[in-house]
Amino acid sequence: MESAPIRTIAVFCGSSTGNDPEIMQACVKLAEVFTLHKLVMVYGGGNIGLMGILADEMLKRGGEVVGVIPQKLMDRELAHANLTQLHIVAGMHERKALMAKLSDAFVVLPGGIGTMDEFFEIFTWFQLGYHHKPMALLNVSGFYDKLIGFLEHIIIQGYFQNDLYKELIVEEHPGDLVKRLLNHRK
Protein backbone atom coordinates (compact mmCIF):
# COMPACT_ATOMS: atom_id res chain seq x y z
CA MET A 1 0.00 0.00 0.00
CA GLU A 2 1.47 3.36 -1.01
CA SER A 3 1.32 6.36 1.28
CA ALA A 4 -0.07 9.68 0.14
CA PRO A 5 2.59 12.22 -0.84
CA ILE A 6 4.11 14.10 2.07
CA ARG A 7 3.39 17.81 2.08
CA THR A 8 3.19 18.77 5.75
CA ILE A 9 5.76 17.74 8.36
CA ALA A 10 5.49 18.13 12.12
CA VAL A 11 8.80 19.05 13.72
CA PHE A 12 9.51 18.51 17.39
CA CYS A 13 12.59 20.26 18.77
CA GLY A 14 14.02 22.23 21.65
CA SER A 15 12.71 25.48 23.02
CA SER A 16 16.37 26.14 23.83
CA THR A 17 19.18 26.37 21.30
CA GLY A 18 21.51 24.12 23.29
CA ASN A 19 25.24 24.66 23.00
CA ASP A 20 26.21 22.82 19.80
CA PRO A 21 26.48 25.18 16.80
CA GLU A 22 26.25 22.17 14.45
CA ILE A 23 22.70 21.53 15.69
CA MET A 24 21.71 25.15 15.09
CA GLN A 25 23.17 24.92 11.57
CA ALA A 26 21.17 21.73 10.98
CA CYS A 27 17.99 23.74 11.72
CA VAL A 28 18.97 26.29 9.09
CA LYS A 29 19.72 23.50 6.60
CA LEU A 30 16.44 21.69 7.39
CA ALA A 31 14.50 24.89 6.67
CA GLU A 32 16.38 25.22 3.38
CA VAL A 33 15.53 21.64 2.39
CA PHE A 34 11.88 22.00 3.46
CA THR A 35 11.42 25.15 1.39
CA LEU A 36 13.23 23.63 -1.58
CA HIS A 37 10.65 20.81 -1.57
CA LYS A 38 7.77 23.21 -0.79
CA LEU A 39 7.01 21.38 2.46
CA VAL A 40 4.84 22.99 5.11
CA MET A 41 6.24 22.86 8.63
CA VAL A 42 3.96 22.33 11.62
CA TYR A 43 5.65 22.99 14.96
CA GLY A 44 5.07 24.16 18.51
CA GLY A 45 4.57 27.80 17.57
CA GLY A 46 7.40 29.24 19.67
CA ASN A 47 9.76 32.08 18.91
CA ILE A 48 12.63 30.77 21.05
CA GLY A 49 15.28 28.09 20.85
CA LEU A 50 15.59 25.70 17.93
CA MET A 51 11.89 26.23 17.27
CA GLY A 52 12.48 29.93 16.69
CA ILE A 53 15.54 29.34 14.48
CA LEU A 54 13.63 26.88 12.31
CA ALA A 55 10.53 29.08 11.98
CA ASP A 56 12.58 32.20 11.21
CA GLU A 57 14.56 30.38 8.52
CA MET A 58 11.45 28.88 6.94
CA LEU A 59 9.75 32.27 6.79
CA LYS A 60 12.87 34.04 5.54
CA ARG A 61 12.95 31.57 2.63
CA GLY A 62 9.25 32.04 1.83
CA GLY A 63 8.12 28.76 3.43
CA GLU A 64 4.81 28.02 5.10
CA VAL A 65 4.90 27.60 8.88
CA VAL A 66 1.97 26.49 11.02
CA GLY A 67 2.30 26.88 14.78
CA VAL A 68 0.32 25.11 17.48
CA ILE A 69 0.76 26.66 20.90
CA PRO A 70 -1.02 26.21 24.26
CA GLN A 71 -2.73 29.28 25.70
CA LYS A 72 -0.41 29.20 28.72
CA LEU A 73 2.65 29.69 26.49
CA MET A 74 0.80 32.27 24.41
CA ASP A 75 0.16 34.21 27.63
CA ARG A 76 3.91 34.17 28.34
CA GLU A 77 4.48 35.84 24.93
CA LEU A 78 6.41 32.87 23.56
CA ALA A 79 4.44 32.60 20.31
CA HIS A 80 6.07 33.48 17.01
CA ALA A 81 4.38 36.60 15.64
CA ASN A 82 4.81 36.07 11.89
CA LEU A 83 3.62 32.53 11.14
CA THR A 84 1.52 31.53 8.15
CA GLN A 85 -1.03 30.17 10.63
CA LEU A 86 -1.16 29.94 14.44
CA HIS A 87 -3.50 27.64 16.35
CA ILE A 88 -3.99 28.33 20.05
CA VAL A 89 -5.04 25.27 22.07
CA ALA A 90 -5.88 24.63 25.71
CA GLY A 91 -2.95 22.40 26.63
CA MET A 92 -0.07 20.17 25.63
CA HIS A 93 -2.21 17.11 24.83
CA GLU A 94 -4.29 19.11 22.37
CA ARG A 95 -1.11 20.58 20.90
CA LYS A 96 0.33 17.15 20.06
CA ALA A 97 -2.99 15.84 18.77
CA LEU A 98 -3.52 18.81 16.45
CA MET A 99 0.08 18.71 15.22
CA ALA A 100 -0.38 15.02 14.41
CA LYS A 101 -3.69 15.67 12.65
CA LEU A 102 -2.21 18.46 10.51
CA SER A 103 0.89 16.48 9.48
CA ASP A 104 1.85 13.78 7.01
CA ALA A 105 5.13 12.91 8.77
CA PHE A 106 7.15 13.66 11.90
CA VAL A 107 10.73 14.85 12.37
CA VAL A 108 12.40 15.00 15.77
CA LEU A 109 15.39 17.30 16.17
CA PRO A 110 17.50 17.62 19.31
CA GLY A 111 15.66 18.87 22.35
CA GLY A 112 14.94 18.21 25.98
CA ILE A 113 12.26 16.47 28.02
CA GLY A 114 9.38 18.03 26.07
CA THR A 115 10.85 16.86 22.78
CA MET A 116 11.30 13.36 24.20
CA ASP A 117 7.68 13.38 25.38
CA GLU A 118 6.56 14.29 21.86
CA PHE A 119 8.79 11.64 20.26
CA PHE A 120 7.64 8.83 22.54
CA GLU A 121 3.97 9.76 22.30
CA ILE A 122 4.03 9.86 18.49
CA PHE A 123 5.98 6.58 18.39
CA THR A 124 3.51 5.00 20.83
CA TRP A 125 0.60 6.13 18.65
CA PHE A 126 2.35 4.49 15.70
CA GLN A 127 2.87 1.27 17.66
CA LEU A 128 -0.81 1.19 18.60
CA GLY A 129 -1.97 1.91 15.05
CA TYR A 130 -3.34 5.41 15.65
CA HIS A 131 -1.26 6.61 12.71
CA HIS A 132 0.92 5.14 9.97
CA LYS A 133 2.91 8.25 9.15
CA PRO A 134 6.68 8.16 8.75
CA MET A 135 8.78 9.28 11.70
CA ALA A 136 12.39 10.44 11.69
CA LEU A 137 15.16 11.42 14.09
CA LEU A 138 17.71 13.98 12.96
CA ASN A 139 20.76 12.62 14.76
CA VAL A 140 23.05 15.65 14.37
CA SER A 141 26.42 15.30 16.12
CA GLY A 142 25.34 11.91 17.46
CA PHE A 143 22.77 13.65 19.68
CA TYR A 144 20.46 10.62 19.66
CA ASP A 145 23.08 7.87 19.80
CA LYS A 146 22.18 6.95 23.39
CA LEU A 147 18.44 7.03 22.65
CA ILE A 148 19.03 4.71 19.69
CA GLY A 149 21.06 2.47 22.01
CA PHE A 150 18.19 2.49 24.51
CA LEU A 151 15.66 1.52 21.82
CA GLU A 152 17.92 -1.35 20.76
CA HIS A 153 18.26 -2.37 24.43
CA ILE A 154 14.49 -2.57 24.97
CA ILE A 155 14.20 -4.69 21.81
CA ILE A 156 16.76 -7.12 23.23
CA GLN A 157 14.90 -7.10 26.55
CA GLY A 158 11.62 -7.97 24.80
CA TYR A 159 9.77 -4.69 25.45
CA PHE A 160 9.76 -3.35 21.91
CA GLN A 161 9.45 -4.93 18.48
CA ASN A 162 12.30 -4.72 16.00
CA ASP A 163 9.90 -4.33 13.05
CA LEU A 164 8.50 -1.16 14.67
CA TYR A 165 12.00 0.15 15.31
CA LYS A 166 12.91 -0.40 11.64
CA GLU A 167 10.14 2.06 10.70
CA LEU A 168 12.04 4.90 12.40
CA ILE A 169 14.17 6.88 9.95
CA VAL A 170 17.46 8.02 11.48
CA GLU A 171 19.77 10.36 9.58
CA GLU A 172 22.57 12.77 10.46
CA HIS A 173 21.96 15.25 7.64
CA PRO A 174 18.74 17.15 6.91
CA GLY A 175 18.90 16.54 3.14
CA ASP A 176 19.23 12.77 3.60
CA LEU A 177 16.43 12.72 6.17
CA VAL A 178 13.98 14.61 3.95
CA LYS A 179 14.88 12.48 0.94
CA ARG A 180 14.06 9.32 2.90
CA LEU A 181 10.80 10.80 4.19
CA LEU A 182 9.70 11.80 0.71
CA ASN A 183 10.54 8.34 -0.63
CA HIS A 184 8.91 6.49 2.27
CA ARG A 185 6.30 3.93 1.38
CA LYS A 186 4.37 1.90 3.94
28 Cβ contact list (under 8 Å, min separation 6)? 53, 57
d(CA 57, CA 3): 28
The model's pTM: 0.95
- Which residues are paired to 105 by β-bridges? 9
Helix (H, G, I), strand (E, B) or coil at 41: strand
Domains and CATH numbers, the chain: 8-179 (3.40.50.450)
Q: What is the mean pLDDT for each group of 10 consecutive residues in the chain (186 residues)?
A: 81 96 97 98 96 97 97 90 96 96 98 97 96 97 98 96 94 98 82
d(CA 51, CA 178): 18
